[in-house]
Chain A
């Protein structure tokens, strides 16, 4: 009887452990770590940025649009997150999809963004990335490989999440 009870405890333990190991509701780690596709995009001042410019540091890349409700919800938390990490050697980039400077400029009056905003007016860049909906955010390691993905909005000022990005350094 003792061995039967032990077996029940062992199996129940295994079952509970399997459901408790992945208790992080923040980002999806990507096992294949594919290299991110390089891009060349203008910022709000017309300056050209290439993804390859950011090699050697972790990069958070967020795809968004002004009319997307969850994007509007998460952007303030990204701005707060940026204030926490900007001196840690981590880059943060928001790529607006399909809109022009005037639209984004007006939007940032209500939703200030202190980190780099790039404009993918033609949608050519988003089409090359593995994205199904907005917002989608990727975290790249210093080698330029995609290591995390988050589909839908997150609280980007959460230390638990930012520490995972810091750990990539």
Chain B
């Protein structure tokens, strides 16, 4: 009997309960919507960026009007990933290559920064603009170490402004694969159109 309880206790200590809490908030200062996923130590925030916001950011960094319009109309979100753990073993790994969206029953990959970068010639985009784009966008692959690592950057999910989609998010916590769906995400629309 004692051995049974003892084994049960040992088992309970090693169970990783996976439950992602997902919330949606309208940010009072901007009126933009934030989706937040929390699963143990991992925290992910997706905040809408108005197409005009994104357009002016990239125009300010030397991109042409055509390219900035393309980026701005690709459902861009400010994304913040964070590892809140203090345990040295709890590294969080994120690869956007494993994420995808579902829109109109169709599954679509996310448009990664490398894909954007490849489609521009050197004549179209100057090196300084490329540097700004690279560092202003969310890393395709990233490890978040414990003790407060976080990172931020823009992700373009692809659909046109006003579209609604579901996002499949995958990450690893201490090599253990985890996933969640964030449902009904709305691509931001300019306020004065």
**Binding between chains A and B:** yes
A: residues with CB less than 8 A from B are 1, 4, 7-8, 11, 15, 18-19, 21-28, 65, 67-70, 97-99, 121-123, 126, 132-134, 149-154
Within 8 A of A (CB), among B95-139: 127-128, 131-132, 134-136, 138-139
Interface of chain B: mostly helix, strand, loop or mixed = mixed
The answer for the CA separation of A121 and B174 in the assembled complex, in Å, is 37
Binding site for A on B (CB under 8 A): 2, 5-6, 9-10, 13, 57, 60-61, 82, 86-88, 127-128, 131-132, 134-136, 138-139, 141-142, 144-153
Q: Which residues from chain A contact B148 at a C-beta distance below 8 Å?
A: 25-26, 150, 152, 154
Closest A residue, CB atoms, query B84: A25
Bound together, the chains give a CA A164 to CA B57 distance in angstroms of 38
Chain A residue at smallest Cβ distance from B14: A15
Check B86–A134 contact: CB distance below 8 A. no
CB proximity of B113 to chain A, nearest CB, Å: 11
Bound CA–CA A26/B147 (angstroms): 5
Please determine whether A121 and B128 come into contact, CB atoms closer than 8 angstroms.
yes
Distance from B87 Cβ to chain A, minimum over Cβ atoms (Å):
5
Task: Indicate if the CB atoms of B131 and A133 lie closer than 8 Å.
Answer: no
CB-CB under 8 A from A4, the residues of chain B are: 2, 5-6
A68 to B127, CA, bound (A): 18
Q: Which residues of chain B are within 8 angstroms of A98 by Cβ–Cβ distance?
A: 128, 131-132, 135
Check if A25 sits within 8 Å of B147, measured CB to CB. yes
CB pair A151 B136 closer than 8 Å: no
Q: Which residues of A contact B57 (CB under 8 A)?
A: 67
Known: A22-B88, A67-B132, A154-B148. A7 touches B6 (CB 8 A): yes
Measured CB to CB, the closest approach of chain B to A34, in angstroms, equals: 15
A7 to B127, CA, bound (A): 63
Judging by beta carbons under 8 Å apart, are A133 and B142 in contact? yes
Contact partner of B146 among A28, A68, A69, CB < 8 A?
Answer: A28
Q: A7-B6, A123-B127 are in contact. Are A132 and B132 (CB under 8 A)?
A: no
Give Cα distance in the complex from A4 to B86, angstroms.
30
B152 with A133: CB separation less than 8 A? yes
- Across the interface, A67 reaches (CB within 8 A) one of B82, B136, B144, B145, namely B136
The distance in angstroms between the C-alpha atoms of A142 and B152, with both chains bound, is: 31
- For residue A44, give the distance in angstroms from its CB to the closest CB of chain B: 18
